[in-house]
Structures are given as structure tokens and as C-alpha cells.
Amino acid sequence: MILTVTLNTALDITYRVPALAPHASHRVTDVAERPGGKGLNVARVLAALGHETVVTGFAGGPCGAVLRDLLAPLPPVDALVPVAGRTRRTVAVVDAATGDTTQLNEPGPAVTPEEWAAFLTTYAELLGDADAVALCGSLPPGIHVGAYAELIRRARTAGVPVLLDTSGEPLRRGIAARPDLVKPNADELARLTGSRDPLRAAYDARRRGAHTVVASLGPDGMLAATPDGLWRAAPPAKVRGNPTGAGDSAVAGLLSGLVEGLPWPRRLARAVALSAATVLAPAAGEFDAATYEDLLPRVEVTAQATAA
């Protein structure tokens, strides 16, 4: 079983408009609601790849109830912990004329110390059956900034490989707890290390405690700095569409490859192909299967000799 943790789950709402213009009224042509948050997106992709997945985190209020209703018929098992506060909404506005997406993210519910303690009990129980765990996304109000570092230490004590996908101070503190894998994008990595060179920044992040660093380079693919070497993976062509959730699909590719024991070149090829195929999907947590199957054997993965 693969466990994904989304402390700040969301009800994802996607509006599609013919063209998005500031200071104007818009007629929405399509509305979609989906259970969201990075870890839930990761879990849905993992389930589509055939892996048993369990999702945990927090859900509360009317939006949390809708989220759980939408999650109920899907393959990921719901182990979310109830809270008194209201689960946030994330609103994506897709401009049909350009394909661009504008994202609006609410902050999330305030989590009490008692609710955090209840989550830790659930997390400890789930770790007992987990082959790997992914810690994903932002922290809701009330959760201490070292929360991911605490969860990493608990996973390591339980002998469960752990992937961290967050940003800012939670990423900085989480890396110090020595996760097996972190997956920042190039901007997050630059803010963490102060270096705009992804290669140098990835090696710096490894020195800070991460066992392996996989940097997302957007449409240019991924860079992986591992104990076994350095690889770069690039799609055969840039894919234009909605990039929301592409990083989450990459996490699913990396995590599934870890659990399956794939060598790094195959893990990276899967992650890059899934990420590109998600750009063509209607929403995060989904990918275009035909595009994925077409791209997977054509992703170029090369070993890099340069060391920092």
C-alpha cells in the first residue's frame, strides 16, 4: 500500500471560459468539482497505475463533506481525519482561447492541537501497512512549520521510505529530517538554496539532508541527483495545455517506481511521461493514457557526468 498525506486538502473547482479578461464579466461554459490537494492528486494517479493507495490528512465543513462524497467511489481509500474547520476551495479558471489557467487557492482550516494529535494516531496506524509515503502540499493554519519533519522522522522510525513535496520553510525543515526523496520545482529549489543553477542547487539540497533530489524543470523535464548518479530526463516534445497537477503526476511516477524497484532512468521516464500526459488531461489527478503510452518509450534519459 502507498500512503499519501495531504494536510491541506481542497475541493477543486474548475471553470472554463471562452477567454479570460481582467475587470470583465465572464460566461462559464463548464464547471467541474473534484477532490483535490496534492496528495489526493498523487493517489488518484497511483490508483490509475494499479497501486493500492490510501489518503489521509484533514477534511471538515460543507466543502470537506463534498470532497469525501466525491472521493468515495474512487480507488484511493479515504482515511481523512475530520476537523471542525472548513476544507478550503481551489478555483482554477481555464482560458479556452489560450489554454492558460489562473489559480485561486484558499488558505484552509485552522487545525487544533487535539485534531493534530488525532491525525498523528491515524498516521502511525497507516504506516504499519505502508510500502511508501508521500507528504504533499501546503500546511493549513494551526499546523506547526516543522510538521513534515516530524512526519518524516516517524516514517523513518517505521522503516517506510518517504517522499516530500512541499516548499518554503516546511521544505527546509523537512529536508533536515533526511527524507528519502524530495521533489521541488526549480523555483522552490532556488529559494531553498539561493542558487538558480538546478544542478548546483540539487547537490546543495542533498548536503542539507535529502537522500535524493529530483528537480522539476517544467516542460524541460526533470533532473535527479541520487547516491547512484545524476540523470536528466526530457520529453520528446513540449506539450501545451493545463499544467495544474503535472507535478503531482510526476510524484506518482517517482513513488510507483520506488515501490516497484525500478532503476532511476525508468523512474524518471515514467515521471516525465505522466507529467506531460497530465497537461492534456481535463483536471489534476488525471492523465491522458494514450499520450502517456506514446511518450513513455520516447522520453530521453541521460546520465550526467558533472558533479557539484
Residues 34 and 85: beta-carbon distance below 8 Å: no
Kindly report the number of other CB atoms within 10 A of residue 25's CB atom: 5
Nearest to 123 by CA among 58, 38, 201: 58
Residue 107 DSSP label: -
3-state helix, strand, coil in the chain (%, to 5): 40, 25, 35
Alpha helices by DSSP H, 128-210: 147-157, 168-176, 186-193, 198-207
| Alpha carbons 71 and 87: distance in angstroms, whole number | 14
> How do beta strands 77-78 and 53-59 pair?
parallel
Report the distance separating Cα 11 and Cα 47, nearest Å.
Answer: 19
Supply 192's cell numbers.
531553498
Say if strands 181-182 and 229-234 run parallel, antiparallel, or are unpaired.
unpaired
204 among known catalytic residues: no
Residue among 69, 248, 288, 294 flagged as catalytic: 248
* Own/partner pairs, 151-154, CB within 8 angstroms, 24+ separation: 151/5, 151/123, 152/177, 152/178, 152/179, 153/177, 154/120, 154/123, 154/124, 154/127
- 75 contacts 47 by C-beta, under 8 angstroms: yes
**35, 71 Cβ separation under 8 angstroms:** yes
Q: Distance between CA 46 and CA 126 in Å, rounded?
A: 17
Task: Report the catalytic residues.
Answer: 248
